[in-house]
A and B are shown apart, each in its own frame.
With several copies, the nearest count.
Chain A
């Protein structure tokens, strides 16, 4: 019998190596898998590249991972927030690298990785600093920029309910990056509020089918 649930948060992130690239779900704190992040801090992996929409809020979750100096580079769309003081200080001290990506390119590049797209042309960013040095092309009279997929070694996401096959449903706007990140990482770990029996999730309403999920842990 297939069983993707793991007994502990510790086990869920035990094999994250130093230098890994990690997608972390969430938009601000909504959908951020804080328990998995705490487990990752305890686990100790260093020199990480983290892909998230933001760069941490307050001192918990992603901010705590940054504060623990585990992150070499942030890839995100919106690092600067009212309460992103941990990142701000590290960035100004030159202790963390930053790649700013337009939010739609971030989502689409992650999706592209999951969908086997080698690269895509998008109008977003054309003529701006964020497209400098990138290949451009006029398509149907409109300038486009070529963007490449974003993959990761691990995706840490938060969902509402899951089953032992890895099927997931989310809660309201906490869905955000979870479903696309789940498709783009070699190992997807989902923190869920509750594990339900197989068959309890409506097959019409499953958002992330189990094929994309490798570990499910309750937190």
Chain B
């Protein structure tokens, strides 16, 4: 089965981010999206540790320990950016001011429940960071993940088995196989990778999918 690479997936997500959007990219794979934002669009990256207008990594030797992103990697500030304290930063997230957040996930359910912070394993040290705030706060919550676990299990599920990050929060899922909207009538497939059929996608997905418009006519 043909799959998007992580880079291709990041580029696919980036394509959907419009001019002028205020965007938070979660730790991990979502951070890659920054590398693929269209250069002709002005997009504002927010970092939960108090940055708006975050720029790319600095040139080697130019790192500033006081200028890091949520993943604690060195970043830069673009002209027109600003710094603010943590309560103000989370007010942006929780108050519904961010247009888009992109989050990784362990699982997403049919109803848009998100599990991405805790495996629930007995020896796991729980660590939530800002995931719950982003999930409830951003106007659009996009999930970006591999369609299947390494063991080949669907990460799209009827009901999450992992502890939830937030209930009914996900708007759209981008995987290495498909782009899927979470809608009141179910998980509607919008796109599939070249050569993949709806039947094949459904077969590897442990939740009912709604076919894309062209398939409905087929």
Contact = CB atoms under 8 A, between A and B. Distances in A.
Given A79-B126, A173-B66, A173-B67, 7 more contacts: A1-B42, A53-B86, A77-B127, A102-B132, A115-B95, A130-B128, A176-B50
Closest 7 CB pairs of A and B: A199-B79, A104-B133, A116-B94, A104-B90, A115-B91, A206-B82, A80-B127
Interface in B126-145: 126-133, 136-137
A102 B136 CA distance: 12
B125 A91 contact: yes
A173 B90 contact: no
Interface string B67-101: 11000100001011111111101111111111000
B137 to A, nearest CB: 6
A172 B82 contact: no
B129 A103 contact: yes
Contact of A30 (B65, B82, B129, B137): B65
Residue with the greatest number of chain A CB neighbours at <10 A, chosen from B81, B94, B166: B94
A77 B42 CA distance: 31
7 contacts: A92-B125, A129-B126, A129-B163, A175-B83, A201-B82, A206-B82, A209-B92
A94 to B, nearest CB: 12
Contact of B49 (A30, A183, A199): A30
A41 B50 CA distance: 29
B118 interface: yes
A149 to B, nearest CB: 10
B17 to A, nearest CB: 13
A102 B92 contact: no
Interface residues of B, number: 57
Interface in A66-116: 77-81, 87-88, 91-92, 98, 100-108, 110-111, 113-116
B180 interface: no
Contacts of A179: 85-87
A125 to B, nearest CB: 5
B127 A115 contact: no
B46 interface: yes
Given A77-B128, A172-B77, A177 B166 contact: no
